[in-house]
Chains A and B, each alone.
Chain A
Amino acid sequence: MYNILVLASKEVRDGYRNKWIAVMTLVMTGFALILSFLGSAPVGSTHISPMAVTVVSLSSLGIFFIPLIALLLSYDGIVGEEERGTLILLLAYPISKPAIALGKFLGQLSILSFAIIVGYGCATLAIALTGDIPLAEQGWPILLKLILSSILLGGVFLALGLLLSALTRDRGTAAAGAIGLWLLFVVLFDMALLGFLSSGAADLIRDDAVKWIMLASPSDAYRMFNLSTNAETALLSGMAGLREDQGVSASVLISLLCIWIIIPLAASCVLFQRRSS
């Protein structure tokens, strides 16, 4: 257990040294600030809180951005160490393969969480401070929900990247796989589903099945969690029209994200254990 933390803290220190943390945090903060100021400008004096507007725009940013940086961070976790010769060294130390995988995951999750919290935190703080609603009355819970689910979304793709790095034999293949995963879950899945639903074939499936098909993608679970489980954000994002039975409860969505973390994480531990060195 202690060794997992040793490995995780080395991962964090390395992320700090090679400027990963700095760049990621800056980019997150920059994008978040731009989005929130652009996004909140047209609201003017409507009754919708600026926080809700910010959260809606930030979650649209996160859905593209967080999987990308998570995959970039994790895709060569194991295969990269192997290429540098440090994996065989690490395996000669008193640390098990699952502990190596978990340590890496934990370290990367800390890096990503830091970037998300600082980035989103700065943006919302800026919005809150410039508006005329008192700080205490801002919609902090929806911000907390956003940050929590963003970290979980990051965890999903970190775990997927780790799985990729345990499966592949060289970094190039892992990198290609990472791009593939990102395209699949962030772009193609939604496009395919949309295409399917707008075609005649949509009649073939039952109405209430659609939401579950949609939830097969972790990014859609994230989107739904941030947009539809709160009245204001739902109104803003056009999710308010959903019927009662078309929605999915927040706890189900969060559990889905957690399952999406646990399964690839467990799979990478198993595959890493079986991987011949």
Chain B
Amino acid sequence: MKMENFPAIDLIDISQSYRDKIALQDISLALSNRQCLALVGHNGAGKTTLIKIILGLLKPNQGAVKVLHQDPASRHFNNLRCSIGFLPEQVLFQKTLTGRETLAFYARLKGLPTNNLDDYFDRVDLRAAADRRVGTYSKGMRQRLGIAQALLGQPKLLVLDEPTTGLDPVARQNIYRIIDEEKKSGAAVLISSHVLTEMDHRIDRVAILSEGRMVAHGSIPFLRHHIGMRSSLKITADPESCGNIAAMFEAELPVERPSMEEIILRCLPEQKLEILKKVMAMDATITDIELTDPSLEHVFNAYSSTASSGGNHV
């Protein structure tokens, strides 16, 4: 595998519409190897359409698409498909075949040997069930089989459409571990999801889609900063100290007093340390401090509502 960085996906001003409905509008996106990009949006935001364009199953009305340096909708792209791993949003494998037969079928289509499939089953924790029929698998096991299928042949680009849907937390962690491994071995990973809370630290960048438009794009800290979402600092102390703290910050920050012994300060991320220092410098009897940063969920909701209301509010 080449060590230098290359753009696995390069989309420039993609637009796609079906008859009267606009599915995607002016989407530009780049993803290089050793990176993981999350495509986030509500159902119908255009995630699957964008994935179809990246896989060359759909030719956009406008814009330029390059995947692994080639136009995926061209005939010559077929050879490059061996270097792409894909997990569709919903896939029901033939129930009558065993897990191993299913995986062997897909391996043959990619022209791979079928004698080392156990490695793949190990990676997704499915070794024990490899020779059972897919019909006996639980939803999570079927999803893991789907992931094993996507990993076939060390893909340079891994596209996973909602990979963690229906998985328990342990299996979900396992999938993120696999994504991490693939990233380290040089793959570019694109995942789409509307389950946001548990992916924070593993993705490098997020692209938020709303009604076919990309409303935000960047790393999570960047997005948080950009939309001006405030972290909340909850201090529990005696009523007198609370009063003092409130008096000190009321002028510059939104301050809430849920009860006499509690005070919540909402501050911008870059103010956090400064405020903490000031609070600690006060001669107050503080019993507890709880600092909550906006989660990806909050960021996402903020961006989605910004988009639908049409304005930019902080």
CA distance A277 to B18 in the complex (A): 12
A-B contact pairs, 11 of them (CB 8 A): A17-B97, A17-B133, A85-B89, A86-B92, A88-B52, A88-B57, A89-B91, A92-B86, A93-B81, A93-B110, A94-B110
Name the 4 nearest CB pairs between A and B, nearest first.
A17-B96, A85-B91, A94-B81, A92-B86
> What number of A residues sit within 8 Å (CB to CB) of B?
23
Partner of A277, one of B57, B79, B81, B87: B57
Let me know if B222 is at the binding interface, CB within 8 A. Answer: no
Q: Which of A6-14, A170-178, A180-188, A221-229 contacts B (4 or more CB under 8 A)?
A: A6-14
* B93 engages A86 (CB within 8 Å): yes
* B96 engages A18 (CB within 8 Å): yes
Min distance, Cβ A169 to any Cβ of chain B, angstroms: 14
Q: Which of B100-108, B178-186, B249-257 contacts A (4 or more CB under 8 A)?
A: B100-108
* B105 engages A10 (CB within 8 Å): yes
* B52 engages A277 (CB within 8 Å): yes
Instruction: Tell me which residues across on chain A come within 8 A of B149, comparing CB atoms.
Output: 89
CA distance A277 to B111 in the complex (A): 24
Min distance, Cβ B91 to any Cβ of chain A, angstroms: 4
Contact with B along A154-175 (1 / 0, CB 8 A): 0000000000000000000000
CA distance A3 to B81 in the complex (A): 13
Let me know if A274 is at the binding interface, CB within 8 A. Answer: no
* B58 engages A14 (CB within 8 Å): no
Instruction: Tell me which residues across on chain A come within 8 A of B52, comparing CB atoms.
Output: 88, 277
* A85 engages B88 (CB within 8 Å): yes
Instruction: Tell me which residues across on chain A come within 8 A of B94, comparing CB atoms.
Output: 10, 14, 17, 86
> What number of B residues sit within 8 Å (CB to CB) of A?
30
Which residues of B come within 8 Å of A, CB atoms?
A: 52, 55, 57-58, 78-79, 81-82, 84, 86-94, 96-97, 101, 105-106, 108-111, 133, 149, 159
Partner of A6, one of B97, B105, B159: B105
* A89 engages B86 (CB within 8 Å): yes
Instruction: Tell me which residues across on chain B come within 8 A of A10, comparing CB atoms.
Output: 94, 97, 105
* B110 engages A84 (CB within 8 Å): no
CA distance A17 to B79 in the complex (A): 32
Which residues of A come within 8 Å of B, CB atoms?
A: 2-3, 6-7, 10, 13-14, 17-18, 84-86, 88-96, 276-277
* B81 engages A92 (CB within 8 Å): yes
CA distance A88 to B81 in the complex (A): 13
Min distance, Cβ B32 to any Cβ of chain A, angstroms: 21
Partner of A14, one of B82, B90, B97: B97
CA distance A13 to B86 in the complex (A): 24
Instruction: Tell me which residues across on chain A come within 8 A of B110, comparing CB atoms.
Output: 93-94
Partner of A85, one of B57, B79, B90, B106: B90
Min distance, Cβ A168 to any Cβ of chain B, angstroms: 19
* B88 engages A89 (CB within 8 Å): yes
> Which chain B residue lies CB-closest to A88?
B88
Min distance, Cβ B81 to any Cβ of chain A, angstroms: 4
* A93 engages B109 (CB within 8 Å): yes
* B58 engages A13 (CB within 8 Å): no
Instruction: Tell me which residues across on chain B come within 8 A of A94, comparing CB atoms.
Output: 78-79, 81-82, 109-111
Instruction: Tell me which residues across on chain A come within 8 A of B133, comparing CB atoms.
Output: 17
Instruction: Indicate whether A6 sits within 8 Å of B96 (C-beta atoms), given known contacts A86-B91, A94-B81.
Output: no
Partner of A92, one of B84, B89, B92, B97: B84
* B78 engages A96 (CB within 8 Å): yes
CA distance A18 to B96 in the complex (A): 6
* B92 engages A95 (CB within 8 Å): no
Instruction: Tell me which residues across on chain A come within 8 A of B105, comparing CB atoms.
Output: 6, 10
Instruction: Tell me which residues across on chain A come within 8 A of B88, comparing CB atoms.
Output: 85, 88-89, 92
* B58 engages A276 (CB within 8 Å): yes
CA distance A95 to B109 in the complex (A): 7
CA distance A46 to B66 in the complex (A): 76
Instruction: Tell me which residues across on chain B come within 8 A of A85, comparing CB atoms.
Output: 88-92
CA distance A91 to B84 in the complex (A): 12
Min distance, Cβ B23 to any Cβ of chain A, angstroms: 12
Instruction: Indicate whether A84 sits within 8 Å of B101 (C-beta atoms), given known contacts A14-B96, A94-B81.
Output: no
Min distance, Cβ B249 to any Cβ of chain A, angstroms: 53
Instruction: Tell me which residues across on chain B come within 8 A of A17, comparing CB atoms.
Output: 94, 96-97, 133
Instruction: Tell me which residues across on chain A come within 8 A of B93, comparing CB atoms.
Output: 84, 86
**Apart from the given pairs A84-B92, A85-B91, 20 other A-B contacts in the complex at a CB distance below 8 Å:** A13-B97, A13-B101, A14-B94, A14-B96, A17-B94, A17-B96, A17-B97, A17-B133, A84-B91, A86-B92, A89-B88, A89-B149, A94-B78, A94-B79, A94-B81, A94-B110, A94-B111, A96-B78, A277-B52, A277-B58
CA distance A7 to B133 in the complex (A): 19
> Which chain B residue lies CB-closest to A7?
B109
Instruction: Tell me which residues across on chain A come within 8 A of B92, comparing CB atoms.
Output: 84-86
